Amino acid sequence: MNRRDFLGTATVGLTGALVALADSSAQPEPQDRGTAWLCVTCGTQFPSAVHPPPACPICQDSRQYVGWNGQQWTTLDELSKTHENEITEEEPGVFSIHTKPNFAISQRAFLVKTTEGNVLWDCVALLDEKTKAEIRRLGGISAIAISHPHFYTTMVEWSRVFEDAPIHLHELNRQWVMHPDPSIRFWSGEVKRLTPNLTLIKTGGHFDGFQVMHWSRSRDGNGVLLAGDQPDVCMDRNWVTFMYSYPNYIPLNRAAIQGIVAALNPYSFERLHGAFIGQFLTKNAKEIVSRSAERYLAAIS
Ligand SMILES: [Zn+2]
Ligand SMILES: [Zn+2]
């Protein structure tokens, strides 16, 4: 996987449509309440406005970047004309949702089906009619939880479509919410139990309020970790890594790595699902995480 290629392609491919959009909004009708603009580089949706925001704070942050063509915007309607989602069963009860061709950061979302309800873990910007129908066929969504701001995207849109499902975010990431909404429930502390078997764990690191989701009893009884991009699965799928910024290659310090390992320590997990296609540790996932942390600490010491 080459994430940088994903990002470059997505930005260039949408340029034509974006220019047209910007022109068409130049002279709005007075009654025009605008549209909810999406940042092309990170997929974040902003509240409805006639004109797009002056900038995307998520992309201006040192953990992301503004694309080579400057800040670009699109809308959900435009995106759904050129892209579609693919839903794949990764293991019994865990379905990945990925947008094709790649858009923005090109992460996957996951629908985790449990006996206590379905949880949408992480999010993708595109939510079209076909996706809504497929998710409904899988039982809908009763709660949403997202690892960190790079994947917040259109979370409010998803919540509204699925009966105002609560969106659980860690309060240390509050400043990075670009589209405030009553469905967002900030939690504080180290751990939040969503259901008897699903737990949000605040690990910090990549973002102060970074969270992962632990499923203690998957269909085969083993623990499963839904990690977002931290730990991030390495190319050989025998190691993971941890970064303050992936696109800008900024590492984390010793205290942050030790904090992540300590937060995960009480939980057992045999498998780990990462944010990007193919990032699946099928066995010994916890052991892989701890030996990868040791390798990382040796490299930065
Ligand atoms: Zn952005
Ligand atoms: Zn990230």
What's residue 17's pLDDT? 41
- Give me ligand 2 centre to Cα 55, in Å: 19
What are 95-103's contacts with CB under 8 Å, separation 24+?
A: 95/138, 96/273, 96/277, 97/124, 97/131, 97/135, 98/124, 98/277, 99/124, 99/125, 99/126, 101/9, 101/10, 101/13, 102/6, 102/9, 102/10, 103/10, 103/43, 103/79
- Give me ligand 1 centre to Cα 42, in Å: 4
CB 197, CB 217: distance < 8 Å = yes
- Give me ligand 2 centre to Cα 148, in Å: 7
Q: What is the mean pLDDT of residues 271-291?
A: 98
What's residue 34's pLDDT? 83
Does the pLDDT at position 21 exceed 60? no
- Give me ligand 1 centre to Cα 52, in Å: 12
| Cα(26)–Cα(184) distance, integer angstroms | 32
Two structure tokens written together for 274:
């990462």
Percent of the chain at pLDDT exceeding 90: 89
Q: What is the mean pLDDT of residues 276-281?
A: 98
β-strand pairing of 167-170 with 184-187 = parallel
- Give me ligand 1 centre to Cα 57, in Å: 7
**Residue 238 vs residue 9, higher pLDDT:** 238
Phi, psi (degrees; rounded to nearest 5) at 213 = -120, 125
| Cα(65)–Cα(56) distance, integer angstroms | 10
- Average of per-residue pLDDT values in the chain: 92
The predicted-structure confidence for 160-173, as pLDDT tens digits, reads as follows: 999 999 999 999 99
Q: How confident is the model at residue 32 (pLDDT cuts 50, 70, 90)?
A: low
What's residue 58's pLDDT? 98
Residues in the chain: 301
- Give me ligand 1 centre to Cα 159, in Å: 20
The predicted-structure confidence for 52-82, as pLDDT tens digits, reads as follows: 999 999 999 999 999 999 999 999 999 999 9
Identify the nearest ligand to the CA of 207 by its number. Answer: 2
The predicted-structure confidence for 139-161, as pLDDT tens digits, reads as follows: 999 999 999 999 999 999 999 99
Q: Which fold has domain 81-300?
A: Metallo-beta-lactamase; Chain A (3.60.15)
What's residue 74's pLDDT? 98
- N- to C-terminal Cα distance for the chain? 28
- Give me ligand 2 centre to Cα 150, in Å: 5
- Give me ligand 2 centre to Cα 58, in Å: 10
The predicted-structure confidence for 216-269, as pLDDT tens digits, reads as follows: 999 999 999 999 999 999 999 999 999 999 999 999 999 999 999 999 999 999
Percent of the chain at pLDDT exceeding 70: 89
- Give me ligand 1 centre to Cα 70, in Å: 11
Q: What is the mean pLDDT of residues 28-46?
A: 82
**Residue 31 vs residue 115, higher pLDDT:** 115
- Give me ligand 1 centre to Cα 285, in Å: 31
